[in-house]
Structure 1
């Protein structure tokens, strides 16, 4: 045997010995990784921080817990849950102030939303004259200088009415669709995802540097002009990640916009679910992607109430077809969920271990959170500018619930019993 070959054999034997010792020592002597601690900070109400730490200790891939199998899932709503104020509003107002909205093809505003009423389409056409024939991909409406046009678009989007007070949208399922939110995504038609992300970056920079409480002028109206991340929620996301949770965002804002903001909370774009447009030739169209039994282009379901459940089931857990619209078995649901509004109620209810609600005085979600039928709900005031305590109870037993056709009714538990009216017991911090 040559010296070279003898050296190679000896080196291989040594490597095997080291590998074996390493594996044996890892198996026999390794200590479980301790679960990370959620930082102490002002803003957590009562024992909420302790309850969140219990969730982490019990379900995280840390401590003495098993680490095989899929990671536990946590899902956060975005606007007014992880941040204060609304990134959809922030970006929409930036588009209007910078003339970045494209006119509809042939001047027919009905093409921007199947749910737009004739009155709204006429009001928009009257206030926003078509820039002219041949409106190619570069044409935009001059909303930075045309106050009437900016006012009409802002009113339809933000108020759901024309500037004359006429209803702007009709004919939609109120548990699956909020056409005002969807319309913002649909008004992004003609732009590429990269361009939309650039718009969102510009709006983000303005709103994060603006003083808290600042306003901006859109058309002839002063609107909210600032946004802030909640430090407490960023701490929670970071701690959940450290404990091995698979953390997702779901939002009723356009997905390219959410992608930009989510990075600031440590959420990768691949873990953000927002309203998705159908894309053709690299540009967004005014048609929307579907979920469950809803085909692309039907424009009847977005990430809103039951639509959030569908999109989470489909994108997070891989459930397809009609099953995505239904509550899944416990092992195919999120362990933790956080939200602030009735738009979040379905995916909050689906969470198996703990549900955090930031109190914005929204009827159905606060009825269910305060009723706390299974002991898994916790309520916290908003971390910035919290709402004052409501002086009257939430109307849970009469009008706290909104049906698919928009009619109000009582909030019911899973067994069909009616939730009694609930007092607002978590005061502003």
Structure 2
């Protein structure tokens, strides 16, 4: 047997491995008083945030007096924009568009879209290349025509299709641009939750194994690409009802060694990291449980969005009796699945737009860590609390900054946003 790798060996790359947590199955507290508790690597933590985390872990982990191995503390984490830089679901969505990885007949695909869209123009920021307004219902019709053309041409071929075979196809160029704009318009008109649910539904017709393979391919592709804004255009040769249009999206996916180290130290301290994310559960589990990616979390501690299944094929409906993990739904999942712990989360670490309710639902949680990024109005009060508590001796809300141009954290609470050069606080 090969000797286990040190947890210090994690690197930004698929070959950087971490050892399996030494105490993931620990059942008794460490009684030797002269054994120091494990500490977080310095890496690129904001010093005050790292110190606050270490203090809470040392006070409540199994190196502390009063630790009860039968009521293990737990910490709740978002996944997107938190444990990683980027968004797993959007990365998969973009990959599926570029490779036309959709299996449903056109009429069934139609039901995955908001086909009852308004006859009124989209919000002012959505115009075609001629500066004309875009009608939502006409955009849907154009998308369906593109889909029918692509399905007729490529439907018999194994999926996902090679990118090079599709890159010059006007129907593919139009389809991906219109679908990306559709998603952005859905978010603008109906909010983040509706847009996220729409992304999840697009996986209908795939087997669980299909989605696992697609997610892995999308992850590996995105990890090897530069972080940048990318513009997709529908060609003039395929104007449709809406006319040629363009859409700009962000291409970004990076591993975060600081979070991998934190997960390891939590488990060595007898504290369970629990993921609760708005992305598809199986897509996140590939990342979160893998030694290849460096996170090594337990599968039973990964909670995400779920679709109903029939013979391992995803349907377009969400799993019954399981909340969608957004807002109050995310909180409900923690209440239900962590009820046996009989205690609130020890730590909440949030970066997704869906965590405002979670942060307010557990006032007894000692520490809430927030990724400093541009977020929705629901998250702003918590970000402002973190700013106000900077420099205090026992903050409950703390910030972690990052450089979105490199995909790395910064040893400070301020972040450098994509395309900018100056660090900024909320």
Q: Which category describes the TM-score, using the shorter chain as reference length?
A: 0.5 to 0.7
Is the alpha carbon distance of 1:149 and 1:384 closer, same or farther for their aligned partners in structure 2, counting shifts above 3 Å? closer
Greater relative contact order, per chain length (Cα 8 Å cut-off, separation 6+): 2
Alignment of 1:307 with 2:329, yes or no, is: yes
- Paired position in structure 2 for 1:190: 205
Distance in 2 between residues matched to 1:271 and 1:219, nearest whole Å: 41
Residues 89-109 of structure 1 deviation map (CA, whole Å, 9 limit, x = unaligned): 111111111110234563562
Q: Alignment partner of 2:69: what SS?
A: coil
Q: How far has the Cα of 1:316 moved from its partner?
A: 3.1
Partners of 1:333 and 1:187 lie apart in 2 by 34
Change in Cα spacing, 1:187 to 1:74, as seen in structure 2 (3 Å) is same
Q: Tell me the residue number matched to 1:339.
A: 350
Highest CA radius of gyration, 1 or 2? 1
Correspondence for 2:41 among 36, 39, 42:
39
Question: Offset at 1:361?
Answer: 3.3
Q: 1:61 to 1:350 in 2, by over 3 A?
A: farther
**Corresponding residue for residue 201 of structure 1:** 216
Flag structure 2 segments of 5+ consecutive residues without an equivalent.
Answer: 1-27, 119-136, 235-246, 406-413, 418-422
Q: How many residues align?
A: 332
Return the TM-score normalized by structure 1.
0.67
Partner of 1:250, secondary structure, is strand
Structure 1 unaligned spans of 5+:
1-26, 162-166, 293-300, 319-329, 390-425
| Deviation of 1:65 (Å) | 3.8
- Residues 156 and 102 of structure 1: CA distance in aligned 2, closer, same or farther (over 3 Å): farther
Q: Which residue of structure 1 aligns with residue 378 of structure 2?
A: 364
Summarize the alignment of residues 261-340 of structure 1 with structure 2, pairs less than 5 Å apart.
261-262=287-288, 263=290, 264=293, 265-291=295-321, 302-317=324-339, 331-340=342-351
TM-score by length of 2: 0.68
Match of 1:247 in 2: 273
Q: Deviations over 1:22-76 (max 9, x none)?
A: xxxxx9x95255421111123315x221111110011112243423331101011
Aligned-residue offset at 1:216: 5.7
Report matched runs for 1:3-402 at 5 Å: 31-32=32-33, 34-45=36-47, 47-103=48-104, 106-107=107-108, 109=110, 111-112=111-112, 117=117, 119=137, 121-129=140-148, 131=151, 145=169, 146-160=172-186, 178-211=193-226, 213-214=227-228, 221=247, 223-262=249-288, 263=290, 264=293, 265-291=295-321, 302-317=324-339, 331-351=342-362, 352-362=365-375, 363-371=377-385, 375-382=395-402, 384-385=404-405, 387-388=415-416
Deviation of the 1:332 alpha carbon: 3.4
- Cα RMSD, aligned residues only: 3.5
DSSP 3-state at the match of 1:247: strand
